[in-house]
Chain A
Amino acid sequence: MAQTTTRHITDRKELEKYLVTKAAETRKKILELARIAMGGHLGGALSMVDVTVALYHHIMNLDPKNPSWPDRDRFILSKGHGAIALDPILAQVGFFPEEKLETFNKLDSPFGMHTNAHSTPGIEHSTGSLGHGLAVAVGMALGARLDGATWRVFCLLGDGEMQEGSTWEALMSAAQFKLGNLVAIIDRNKFTIDGPTEMLMALEPLADKLRAFRWNVIEVNGQNMTEILNVFEELPLPTSDVPTVVIAHTEKGHGVSFMRGQSKWHYGAIDSDLEAQAVQEIDATIPK
């Protein structure tokens, strides 16, 4: 049975408030984990939080007590270095107890720099090497259709990851196979490791390219919960025949002033002073 954590909330404003609060909690957890783990992919973790929180808490059909429930929606984190953001969200919605995250990065921990499907309940596929996830998502979506199932596949990609040729092969195939049950999301935070995407290897005009690849393209402010909900609540039916890609315009390092909008914090370590400063800023975003 589907178990969104928001099923008890009927008021729209309350729902948004709830999700924004969960996003803030996730950001704080990311910082805590980066501190105890002596480093983490902070920039891209902070940018992906809002969309991922909306999906896991409200949009996707999941049953965290039964991670392999056959009718669940699937989520693949193709930018697998975002595990430090995804794992806390999996804990929030109940795939495993939050305390387990304390082992993050330690010897033999289920949780490390990249997602691990062997050890982490809720992770569908181990990722970390960029440019793999979308093809796997295409395969899952084909499988669903073969079975006449109506679950969706969501796949979150980094914008730097859009520089991988394999991503474009998968894009072509999803349109060719008419996979209306596939939703790709691009975390368009505008930076990779070595600099801004547009200086390194330009992606623009990205929306036009994706349209030329025969996808339904939607652009959204990926840091605005109202807009995110509007988009994901109005997705075309999984039985439709055009895949959808959501370009989530985000900010690398979002929510922490000294990390935002730069490459420097793609990966970084923080001490408790920096963490406290960041937490203060994040707390200020929690709605009363």
Chain B
Amino acid sequence: MAEGMTFTIHDLDMLTQAEVYGKALVELGRQNKNVVVLTADLMRSNKTGEFAAAYPERFFNVGVAEQNLFGIAAGLARAGKIPFASTFAAFASMRACEQVRTDIAYNNVPVKIVATHSGLSMGTGGPTHFATEDIAIMRAMPNMTVIVPADSIETARAVAACVDLPGPAYIRIGRGFEPAAYEDENYDYTIGKSVLMRDGSDITLICCGVAVNAGVIVSSQLEGEGVSVRVINMHTIKPLDREAVVKAAKETRFIITAEEHNIIGGLGSAVAEVLAEEGAAVKLKRLGVRDEYSEIGYPEALYNRYNLDSDSMSRVIAELKEQRAF
């Protein structure tokens, strides 16, 4: 954690991931004069307005123009700055996709893309504002580090950890009031190293984002029912913590991945690639959006539909148990 940043659940409990991001940026801006922040007419939504108020000369709002946003960020990085550029995940990954790939990833400049309102978190905003393809897109770009924080505390950790990364990063956060997965920031956070949230020996849940907290709840619930569930917070999708995946394949009999993303191309696919390459004899089930454009609804309802909340995850595991899948 960067010097001077001490966030605990007491500070962060009532804050959204974006609000924490806004606060973390101000702190980083204080510590490092090279930190600059950009957005595209969304400083209210993504809370970069806090940085704007503190350091107006290091803040650039380019208007509703996402391609320009990432082009300018690349230029600032070329000029020795550490740009944090933010817009909705749908627009960061898809509208400005080629600027991100060519100007940032290919040129390998240290732009930190903090993509907010990712996954289904726009709820009633519908598919134009959902981002259920972004992990797949970003993961396919060489040089890009891809991070999905589990909650607000981890958002603060991720943002701080990214400052010193020599290359680009994509940090994918939600909209809103995702419940906390962590009590405080006193845990070992290393980019590329997963966190074992709960140990278990029957099955392993490998989760990212909102699914992490749901996984932890499921693990506690099922303990009483005689199912031992390991829960891994795979906060870095790339580079993936292969070791943790292989270990889970050896020590448990079934692996479930859970992500607020299409089941194609994201965390589930990344895990499947490792399992296949390692010749692991373990079954895999991928939870998430099943290759469709979701209908609208409040996020909680959509999480339930796509098996990303604790109730639906428990149900999936009960069904697997009934089928003697593990």
Contacts and interface: CB of A to CB of B under 8 A. Distances in A.
Interface stretch (B38-46, B133-141, B248-256): B38-46
Interface in A93-119: 105-109, 112-114, 116
A109 B297 CA distance: 8
Interface of A: 37, 80, 105-109, 112-114, 116, 126-131, 160-161, 163-166, 192-194, 197, 200-201
B54 interface: no
Given A107-B301, A112-B126, A113-B126, A131 B296 contact: no
B44 to A, nearest CB: 6
Nearest to B301: A107
Interface residues of B, number: 31
B34 interface: no
Nearest to A263: B44
A194 B48 CA distance: 11
B20 to A, nearest CB: 20
A105 B295 CA distance: 10
Contacts of A192: 41, 63-64
Given A116-B296, A193-B45, A201-B63, 18 more contacts: A37-B124, A106-B297, A108-B295, A109-B296, A113-B129, A113-B296, A114-B126, A114-B128, A116-B126, A128-B129, A163-B41, A163-B64, A193-B41, A193-B42, A194-B39, A194-B44, A201-B61, A201-B64
Nearest to A160: B64
B64 A164 contact: yes
Contact of B124 (A105, A127, A129, A130): A105
Contact of B61 (A80, A112, A161, A200): A200
Given A113-B129, A165-B65, A201-B65, A107 B297 contact: yes
**SS class of chain A's interface: helix, strand, loop or mixed?**
loop
Contacts of B129: 113-114, 128-129
Interface string B83-108: 00000001100010000000000000
A112 B296 contact: yes
25 contacts: A37-B124, A105-B124, A107-B295, A107-B302, A112-B125, A112-B126, A113-B125, A113-B126, A114-B126, A116-B126, A116-B296, A126-B127, A128-B129, A131-B95, A160-B63, A161-B64, A163-B62, A163-B63, A163-B64, A163-B65, A165-B68, A192-B63, A193-B45, A194-B41, A194-B61
B40 to A, nearest CB: 8
A130 B126 contact: no
A161 B41 CA distance: 10
A284 B296 CA distance: 36
A200 B61 CA distance: 7
Contacts of A164: 64-66
Contacts of A105: 124, 296
Interface in B60-89: 61-68
A112 B41 contact: no
Interface of B: 39, 41-45, 49, 61-68, 90-91, 95, 122, 124-129, 295-298, 301-302
10 tightest CB-CB pairs across the interface, nearest first? A201-B63, A128-B128, A107-B297, A163-B63, A112-B296, A163-B64, A105-B124, A112-B124, A108-B295, A129-B128
A112 B129 CA distance: 11
Contacts of B43: 194
Given A131-B64, A160-B41, A193-B45, A108 B296 contact: yes
A193 B44 contact: yes
A113 to B, nearest CB: 5
A136 to B, nearest CB: 13
Contacts of B297: 106-108
Give the interface centre of B67, B128, B295 by most chain A CB atoms within 10 Å.
Answer: B128
A113 B41 contact: no
A161 B95 CA distance: 14
A165 B67 contact: yes
A267 to B, nearest CB: 9
A20 B135 CA distance: 48
A81 B83 CA distance: 29
A181 B234 CA distance: 53
A105 B302 CA distance: 13
B9 to A, nearest CB: 27
A41 to B, nearest CB: 10
Contacts of A130: 64
A126 B298 CA distance: 20
Contacts of B95: 129, 131
Contacts of B67: 165-166
A217 B126 CA distance: 34
Contacts of A193: 41-42, 44-45
A114 B130 CA distance: 12
Contacts of B42: 193-194
Contacts of B302: 107
Contacts of B90: 129
